[in-house]
Amino acid sequence: MHLSMPNRRDFLRCLPLAGSAASVIPFAYAAAAHAADLRKRGKACILLWMQGGPSQFETFSPLVGHKNGGGTKAIATGVPGMRFAEHWPAVAKVADRMAVIRSMTSKEGSHPRATYLLHTGYLPNPSVRHPTLGSIVASELAAGEGGETADLPPVVRIGTRRRPDSGAGLLGMRWDPYELREATSSPANTSPQVPAERHLRRLDLMERLGSGFAGSLPQEAADHASLYRRATRMILSPAMKAFDLEAEPAEIRREYGEGEFAAGCLLARRLVESGVSFVEVVMDGWDTHQDNFKKVPELAAQVDRPFAALVRDLERRGMLDDTLVIWMGEFGRTPQVNPRGGRDHFPRSFNAALAGGGVAGGAVVGKTDKAGVEVTDRPVTVPDLFATFCASLGIDGAKENMSSSGRPIKLVDGGTAVQELFS
């Protein structure tokens, strides 16, 4: 912990815009862009979160020739033997860059608890605030780069309605997900209310008026100054342009398609490109207790095209090898179709899909029995899955953090990475 309070000049020097002359802006912007460029070569992760529990049978584990398949047809992908449900024609075309785990298994069948589990790798426990995957990834990746992060917040969550976990938890608020309710409107309180020059004058004034406080409580003052510096760096950063989807060429926007989820996927790529380490894009509505066979095609229609576009787009930009894309929800759905044409919660066997981040394309891991009930081959637990994420991103999952009650908490609760995915 350092006790030094930067003096006024240092404070301004740390900002992208030093002094008041507008001509300084391009230079400072160039410096920030350079930082973003450095980060781009690092690793990153994008989580496509299917809130509600997507049906494995109507996604990437179709069950043809059994009544539990519900009549959903399977389509071929570019990979021999790897078949997806008919609702995923676009993703089927990038199957050779993807891996599917068809043998996910857990015991947790309630939405909040399973959502927490699949976000943190742990079950909720009132005495420990487990960090969410994004915070783990961002803090560990930053640690590998001397603690430095880009101008934008290191973890961003798009489309969230309710908090699925305890955020950064014991890692501290710096790693908390920065939450955006939707990708298509600009993030809260980031449009400057006054010209940049006046904003910097105000910060300068704030610091001068705060010198008495800083004299008696230097650490509190230094932390505050550092926070305001980061927030100012963010809103004055050229990287803020990442939030402006209109700036993206029309043909790429077309490739991602229409809708909030598509916008979220495009924004995720733009953010990762600007140095953000982890982006979660939420697609709600997968809790198909009724009318599963009507709802899933509608949901898939919103996810299929942007998911495929994201994988291709990252690949074209040479970012796919370093960016792990995860598609998953909190559990799967019952093999048996209920009387309302729906499928209920089913954690015993479900699926997840991965792309990029060094994951071998075209890999299929695990199997269930013919009825889609029991995992019969290569069960993958939630800790195994989290260990796999860590392996992909070069993170040591065995690293321990201390909880507030002094209890050591591993990044990942045991588990073994699915090595077959990295052959």
Consecutive H or E run containing 6: none
Decide: is 227 part of the binding site for other proteins (CB under 8 A): yes
Least separation in angstroms between residue 63's CB and other proteins is 19
* 40-69 footprint of other proteins as x/- string (CB under 8 A): ------------------------------
**Which ranges of 183-259 does DSSP label H, i.e. alpha helix?**
196-209, 211-216, 218-236, 250-256
Rg, C-alpha atoms of the chain: 23
Identify residue 416 by its one-letter amino acid code.
T
Identify residue 326 by its one-letter amino acid code.
I
* 345-384 footprint of other proteins as x/- string (CB under 8 A): x-xx------------------------------------
The CA-based dihedral angle spanning residues 417, 400, 137, 180, taken in that order and rounded to the nearest 10 degrees: 130
In the list 129, 270, 305, 312, the residue contacting other proteins (rule: CB under 8 A) is: 129
Looking at the Cβ atoms of 80 and 126, the one nearer to other proteins is 126
Least separation in angstroms between residue 250's CB and other proteins is 31
Q: How many CB atoms lie within 10 A of CB 125?
A: 13
Decide: is 194 part of the binding site for other proteins (CB under 8 A): yes
Give me the half-sphere count of Cα atoms (radius 13 Å) on the Cβ side of residue 176.
10
Decide: is 208 part of the binding site for other proteins (CB under 8 A): yes
Query: Shortest CA distance to 299 belongs to which of 268, 330, 262?
Result: 262
Decide: is 423 part of the binding site for other proteins (CB under 8 A): no
Query: Shortest CA distance to 326 belongs to which of 390, 375, 410, 259?
Result: 390
**How many angstroms separate the CA atoms of 300 and 303, rounded?**
5
* 384-413 footprint of other proteins as x/- string (CB under 8 A): --------------------xxxx------
Span near other proteins by CB under 8 A; candidates 119-127, 136-144, 248-256, 296-304? 119-127
**How many angstroms separate the CA atoms of 353 and 73, rounded?**
19
Least separation in angstroms between residue 155's CB and other proteins is 11
The footprint of other proteins (CB under 8 A) covers: 1, 3, 107-110, 112-113, 116, 124-127, 129, 153, 162-164, 170, 172-174, 176, 178-179, 188-194, 198-199, 201-202, 205-206, 208-214, 216-221, 223-225, 227-228, 230-232, 234-235, 345, 347-348, 404-407
